[in-house]
A and B are shown apart, each in its own frame.
Chain A
Amino acid sequence: MTASSTADPASARAHARAMAGTRVEAMPTVPATASADRPAGVEAEAMLWAETIAPGGYAAKRLDRGARLRLIDLEGDACVSMLLFNAQQPIERLNVADTLKVQWNAYLGAGRLILSDMGKVMVSVLEDTTGTHDAFCGASNAAANAAKYGEGDNWGSHPNARDRFVLATAKFGLGRKDIHPCINWFKGVTILPDGATRLTSARRPGQSVTFRAEMDVIVMLANCPHVLDPRPGYTVTPVRALAWRGPPTPADDPIRNATPEGLRAFLNLEEDLRR
């Protein structure tokens, strides 16, 4: 029998410190300025966040107004459920119904706005190479994952998006009541004439969505299989989150001015920022 390498504090410390530098696929790059995959034209110093979120994993980040966030579906089978809060006053949050109703459209993509429940724009979608997202079916939950995979707990192998959000919200002093209807990126849901939902997603490795924070936001992401995913196995692939500093939206921005409803969502925001 060999002697334990962690029998006393000094050896346990050495054992722990020997792990430093280990690299796995799903991990944050700290500092983000050291990330090797920053977007073209973005200076290292502008990088705010670089993290690969595991299949079944979650992450959250506070981003200031003007920041850009890109989600990259590295292998083409990610499903990123998103919650959004106003970082200054988290009681204001994403409202999926208003986001669709105000824009008179069921589908999200480049040029669309993500709206709060207080009549303001939270985030704009700058670029989208996917074209299929989902504002209807929401986060998977423990019951759905248990029925599909045998269990769905945070401490198991098949975490569900809602319980991921329980943890993410808790870390910002928020809780179960703050988990609002979410948006799922990369997995699309189309509505048929009789109202039926149809999952419409193609596997496109490297597809990405790029956002611009219009207000200071807390963004929470859970990368779990879509609740309508018909595959029997827990199938989801890693997603890369990259964020960098950017200028706030100027008055002549084409997305800001694209529709009268959207313009008023910017005007309400700008009025709120007038101090």
Chain B
Amino acid sequence: MTIAPKLEGQVVLDEVVPARAPWTAVVRKGQILRIVDLEGNQSADFLMYALEDDAERYSAQDTIAAQGNIFLREGSVLRSNEGRPMAVVTSTSVAYHDTIGGACSCESNTLRYGHHTKSQHACVENFLQGNARFGHGKRDMVSNINFFMNVPVEANGALGIVDGISAPGLYVDIRAEMDLTVVVSNCPQINNPCNGFNPTPLRMVIAG
């Protein structure tokens, strides 16, 4: 599906996240969060926490194990570290999204690209700043989702962030299965193709 379906219920939030910025929200059970890749191939790094017990949070490993697949597609159930459904990908116009690539950080950038990238802005910086709103800190950093990012694993184990499969206007809808705090980093990475080497804005809509 390339045309985003009309969202059910009242739109309670509709805003644009500037390129390179963090974004946070509380998404209530039953609400849909839509993320629109406005200009194409812009990684939306995503973490979520149970509102009533923030030690329960998104778990990439539990999600992968339960669905038996590393890619997030329409129908994927996004699970917590306790194995419970936190959200469901109800609709997306992108074939699959990533949850093994993790978030870029100043520190990992020094390994991947060299020490000249240490001072560049990074997703972990955005997560730490955005999460501070909820009283979260570095202990709350775990493997995240990268909507609109492409990380294949080849037969010999080769793994890497490669050219994206998203395009301008493509979207992902997730429905909260519990009350959630959500933190997104609109990825500022400029050293790999996850943002087409040009970070751009994202649109966030919450409805229901």
Q: Which A residues form the contact surface with B (CB < 8 A)? A: 91, 95-98, 100-102, 104-107, 115, 117-120, 136-139, 141-144, 162, 175-182, 191, 193-197, 227-228, 261-262, 264-265, 268
Contact = CB atoms under 8 A, between A and B. Distances in A.
Given A91-B139, A100-B100, A117-B105, A196 B159 contact: no
B27 to A, nearest CB: 21
B140 A97 contact: no
A102 B151 CA distance: 13
Nearest to A104: B160
Contact of A101 (B70, B83, B96, B112): B112
Given A91-B138, A162-B81, A264 B114 contact: yes
Nearest to A268: B110
Contact of A143 (B82, B110, B144, B151): B82
Given A177-B139, A197-B69, A101 B159 contact: yes
Interface string B107-123: 11111101100000000
A130 to B, nearest CB: 15
A178 B115 CA distance: 28
B140 A102 contact: no
A100 B60 CA distance: 14
Contact of A141 (B82, B141, B142): B82
B69 A144 contact: no
B101 interface: yes
Interface residues of B, number: 48
A101 B143 CA distance: 12
Interface string B67-88: 0111100000000011110000
B68 A197 contact: yes
A115 B111 contact: yes
Nearest to A90: B139
B81 A98 contact: no
B100 A97 contact: yes
B61 A137 contact: yes
Nearest to A193: B155
Given A143-B82, A144-B83, A100 B159 contact: yes
A176 B61 contact: no
A264 B115 contact: yes
Nearest to A119: B107
B144 to A, nearest CB: 8
Of B55, B61, B144, B157, which is in contact with the most chain A CB atoms at under 10 Å from its CB?
B61
Contacts of B100: 97, 100, 106, 136
Contact of B159 (A104, A117, A137, A194): A104
B161 interface: yes
Given A136-B100, A228-B68, A104 B158 contact: yes
